[in-house]
């Protein structure tokens, strides 16, 4: 997608005269206020970037980990180094399954190769993972566009399709396009009027900081809302559909996503608003069935709840405390929406029901492998 009209991806490899070039990312901690680009030069830098959320969003976490393996293979392509890198990167964040998917994929492809061939193969595969992510998201957009088109067809000409989204499942969370935003961008390109309600998404405000920023950059009409406003808007008929992303969807169709998604799904069901989840297939964990009981939920620092980051009148990025000194805070970062609340899963292969049967029919090549 674009920043200030210039094409951008969230991660890329740049020539710098060295054999493999340098991997660069946007350090998302400072958006929308500052566009800071960082080079990730060794395994530790990759681990820090994922753990401390310089990069975030399930597909981007996976792509970053793949490059982290490649950079380490250029440094030390031994079996021990490959295994240790899997561990070091895997322990950075527990919930998004794309991380384990990318690490498993890299290790399975590299292990049979002689060590001297591993760096080249690893960079090539990491590049491919990125290209595949872009293509999957583009296709998710096509399938999601068909749903938006159907809703638009029932409206008066010029009346926007009103879409609520939570967190940031936009292009910064993937390599490009985004998952939840891809149908929205494609609807705009197709000339369908849309209006997006953007949940701010406390505690880290990915909606306010990232989704509002990218929709603004692309001229997509939107309103930022507090996390608690969605139910009210749905109750008053102001939302036509919800589209969210996911960090891990089980083989049964349960959807784990940013904390607060479950409440939106409940409100959507109570108000008969369709609730869609957009996901590329690496986000499906075929080894897990019951999302509520089996998916590890990341617990982050309470400081993210007691404090908020923003920009002051002088343009400086500041963190301010919003609760009394010493307040205890709990900060589960994700929740699970049971499949019964999901209207449909928008994948790169098409839209299916959130059920084990429908997922297995859509992905027979993956479902039967586990
Ligand atoms: O904690 P984050 O910012 O990594 O959480 C991101 C989300 O929950 C996204 O909705 C999800 O990864 C889908 S991204 C296409």
Strands (E), 15-173: 22-26, 37-40, 161-165
- pLDDT, residue 369, reads 77
Q: Is the distance from the beta carbon of residue 280 to the nearest atom of ligand 1 less than 6 Å?
A: no
Q: Are residues 88 and 195 in the same domain?
A: no
Q: How far is CA 112 from the centre of its chain?
A: 31
Q: Are residues 110 and 17 in the same domain?
A: yes
Q: Are residues 182 and 326 in the same domain?
A: yes
Q: Is the distance from the beta carbon of residue 260 to the nearest atom of ligand 1 less than 6 Å?
A: no
Q: Is the distance from the beta carbon of residue 209 to the nearest atom of ligand 1 less than 6 Å?
A: no
Q: How far is the CA of 182 from the centre of ligand 1 (A)?
A: 15
Q: Are residues 350 and 321 in the same domain?
A: yes
CA neighbor of 338 nearest in space, from 234, 284, 263: 263
Q: Are residues 190 and 95 in the same domain?
A: no
Q: How far is the CA of 291 from the centre of ligand 1 (A)?
A: 16
Contacts 24+ apart (CB under 8 A), 26-32: 26/55, 26/172, 27/54, 28/53, 28/54, 28/55, 28/56, 28/172, 28/210, 29/53, 29/54, 30/317, 31/172, 31/209, 31/210, 31/213, 32/209, 32/210, 32/212, 32/213
**Residue nearest to ligand 1 atom 15, measured at CA:** 169
Ligand 1 atom at shortest distance from the alpha carbon of 278: 15
CA neighbor of 182 nearest in space, from 59, 34, 313, 39: 59
Note the pTM of the prediction, 2 decimals: 0.98
Q: Is the distance from the beta carbon of residue 106 to the nearest atom of ligand 1 less than 6 Å?
A: no
93 labelled as ligand-binding?
Answer: yes
- pLDDT, residue 78, reads 98
Q: Are residues 220 and 284 in the same domain?
A: yes
Q: Are residues 199 and 267 in the same domain?
A: yes
What is the CATH number for 65? 1.20.120.420
Residue 105: pLDDT band by 50, 70, 90 thresholds?
very high
What is the residue range of 263's domain? 137-368
Q: Is the distance from the beta carbon of residue 211 to the nearest atom of ligand 1 less than 6 Å?
A: no
Q: Are residues 173 and 236 in the same domain?
A: yes
Residue 284 and residue 255: Cα distance in Å, rounded?
A: 9
**Residue nearest to ligand 1 atom 6, measured at CA:** 57
Q: What b/e readout covers 109-147, taking b as 16+ CB neighbours within 10 angstroms? A: ebeeeeeeebbbbbbebbbebbebbbebbebbbebbbeb
**Residue nearest to ligand 1 atom 8, measured at CA:** 258
Q: Are residues 120 and 147 in the same domain?
A: no
216-265 residue pLDDT tens:
999 999 999 999 999 999 999 999 999 999 999 999 999 999 999 999 99
56 labelled as ligand-binding?
Answer: yes
- Please identify which of the residues 247, 254, 285, 335 carries the catalytic annotation: 247
- pLDDT, residue 83, reads 98
Phi, psi of 251 (to 5 degrees): -60, -20
313 labelled as ligand-binding?
Answer: no
Identify the domain boundary among 131, 159, 182. Answer: 131
Identify the domain boundary among 131, 151, 169. Answer: 131
Q: How far is the CA of 114 from the centre of ligand 1 (A)?
A: 36
What is the CATH number for 148? 3.40.50.10470
Choose one of 52, 58, 174 to mutate for the ligand 1 pocket test, by most ligand atoms within 8 angstroms of C-beta: 58
How many structural domains compose the chain? 2
Q: Is the distance from the beta carbon of residue 256 to the nearest atom of ligand 1 less than 6 Å?
A: no
Cβ contact 258:193 at 8 Å: no
55-102 residue pLDDT tens:
999 999 999 999 999 999 999 999 999 999 999 999 999 999 999 999
Identify the domain boundary among 89, 107, 131. Answer: 131
Average pLDDT over residues 18-27: 97
Q: Give yes or no: 247 in active site.
A: yes
Q: Are residues 198 and 80 in the same domain?
A: no
Report in angstroms the alpha-carbon separations of 212 from 29, 86, 135, 153, 220.
Answer: 15, 34, 24, 26, 9
Residue 368: pLDDT band by 50, 70, 90 thresholds?
confident
Cα Rg of the chain (Å, integer) = 20
Q: How far is CA 139 from the centre of its chain?
A: 16
Residue 268: pLDDT band by 50, 70, 90 thresholds?
very high
Q: How far is the CA of 61 from the centre of ligand 1 (A)?
A: 9
Q: Are residues 224 and 328 in the same domain?
A: yes
Q: How far is the CA of 295 from the centre of ligand 1 (A)?
A: 15
182-192 residue pLDDT tens:
999 999 999 99
Complex ipTM value: 0.99
Q: Are residues 183 and 312 in the same domain?
A: yes
The answer on pLDDT for 50 being more than 90 is yes
Helix, strand, coil tally for the chain in percent (to 5): 45, 20, 35
């Amino acid at each position: 997608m674009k920043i200030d009209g210039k094409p951008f991806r969230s991660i890329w490899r740049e020539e710098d005269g060295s054999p493999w070039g340098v991997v660069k990312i946007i350090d998302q901690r400072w958006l929308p206020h500052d566009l800071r680009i960082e080079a990730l030069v060794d395994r530790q830098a990759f681990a820090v970037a994922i753990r401390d959320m310089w990069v975030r969003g399930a597909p981007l976490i996976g792509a970053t980990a793949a490059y982290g393996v490649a950079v380490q293979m250029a440094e030390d392509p031994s079996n021990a180094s490959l295994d240790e890198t899997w561990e070091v990167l895997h322990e950075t964040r527990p919930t998004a399954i794309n991380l384990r998917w990318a690490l498993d994929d890299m290790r399975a492809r590299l292990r049979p190769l002689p060590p001297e061939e591993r760096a080249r193969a690893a960079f090539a595969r990491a590049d491919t993972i990125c290209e595949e992510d872009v293509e999957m998201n583009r296709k998710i957009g096509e399938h999601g566009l068909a749903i938006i088109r159907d809703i638009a067809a029932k409206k008066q000409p010029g009346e926007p399709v009103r879409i609520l989204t939570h967190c940031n499942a936009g292009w910064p969370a993937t390599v490009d396009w985004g998952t939840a935003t891809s149908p929205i961008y494609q609807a705009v390109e197709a000339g369908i009027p849309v209006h997006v309600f953007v949940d701010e998404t406390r505690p880290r405000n990915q909606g306010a900081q990232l989704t509002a920023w990218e929709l603004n950059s692309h001229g997509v009409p939107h309103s930022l809302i507090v996390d608690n406003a969605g139910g009210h808007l749905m109750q008053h008929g102001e939302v036509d559909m919800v589209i969210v992303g996911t960090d891990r969807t089980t083989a049964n169709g349960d959807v784990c996503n940013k904390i607060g998604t479950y409440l939106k799904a409940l409100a959507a069901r109570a108000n008969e608003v369709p609730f869609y989840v957009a996901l590329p297939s690496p986000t499906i964990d075929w080894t897990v069935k019951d999302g509520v009981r089996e998916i590890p939920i990341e617990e982050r620092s309470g400081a993210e709840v007691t404090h908020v980051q923003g920009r002051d009148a002088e343009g400086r990025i500041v963190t301010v405390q919003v609760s009394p000194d010493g307040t205890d805070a709990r900060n589960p970062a994700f929740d699970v929406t049971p499949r019964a609340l999901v209207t449909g899963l928008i994948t790169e292969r098409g839209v299916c029901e959130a059920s084990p049967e429908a997922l297995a029919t859509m992905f027979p090549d993956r479902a039967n492998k586990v």
